[in-house]
Amino acid sequence: MKTRYIVLLVISAAAAAALLPARGQSQTVPTNREASRPQPGTGAASGGVLGILRHGDWECALPGDAGGEAFVPQPAEAFRIGTASSYLSPTGAGIYLLRGTEVVFTRGPKQNQRFRVLGENTLQKLEADGSLSKLICTRVSNGN
């Protein structure tokens, strides 16, 4: 009976060693599993759960000043979110990807523009280096 337990323990340990990633071993060549994973790029969202933006018209603006307008609309930056992760801007249509709290426009005239989700109806544009810009986009209607 003891031999049976020893054999089961050895088989379990071998299976665990084969299935778990190696720890403490440095490998310079990626394994097949690592090589097949998408690698983050400059235009790719870095991680998180996939999602969609709320459908409707989104208007974008820069902050104004205390002596004048509270905000300065930027009509060229406006867009409309539709079905199937699509958008329509004044210059054409495209596709976006919402992953976690980051939106990346992957096709169309806004391609490679990135935004941070601040709330259900608010986005803030990201600069190329990942820092926040001053441009804020807000959903103003549901598109009907």
pTM for the structure as a whole: 0.67
- Distance (Å, rounded) from C-alpha 11 to C-alpha 132? 53
Q: Tell me what pLDDT residue 143 has.
A: 72
Q: Is 118 exposed, middle or buried (0-12, 13-18, 19+ CB in 10 A)?
A: middle
The residue-averaged pLDDT of 95-108 equals 97
Q: Tell me what pLDDT residue 41 has.
A: 47
Angle at 140 between CA 104 and CA 80, to 5 degrees: 45
- Distance (Å, rounded) from C-alpha 16 to C-alpha 12? 6
Two tokens, residue 29: 């060549």
The SS3 assignment for 13 reads helix
Distances, alpha carbon 71 to alpha carbons 62, 96, 100, 124, 138, in Å? 6, 26, 28, 14, 12
DSSP letters of 46-75? -SS-EE-PPSEEEEEEEE--TTS-SEEE-G
Convert the pLDDT of each residue in 121-143 to its tens digit: 999 999 999 999 999 999 999 87
Q: What topology is assigned to 50-141 in CATH?
A: Lipocalin (2.40.128)
Contact 86, 79 (CB under 8 A): no
Residue recorded with tokens 């996939």: 50
Residue 27 has pLDDT above 60, yes or no: no
The residue-averaged pLDDT of 15-27 equals 55
Convert the pLDDT of each residue in 43-100 to its tens digit: 444 578 999 999 999 999 999 988 889 999 999 999 999 999 999 999 999 999 999 9
Band of pLDDT at residue 24, cut at 50, 70 and 90: very low
Phi, psi of 8 (to 5 degrees): -65, -40
Q: Mean pLDDT lowest for which of 14-18, 29-33, 74-78, 107-111?
A: 29-33
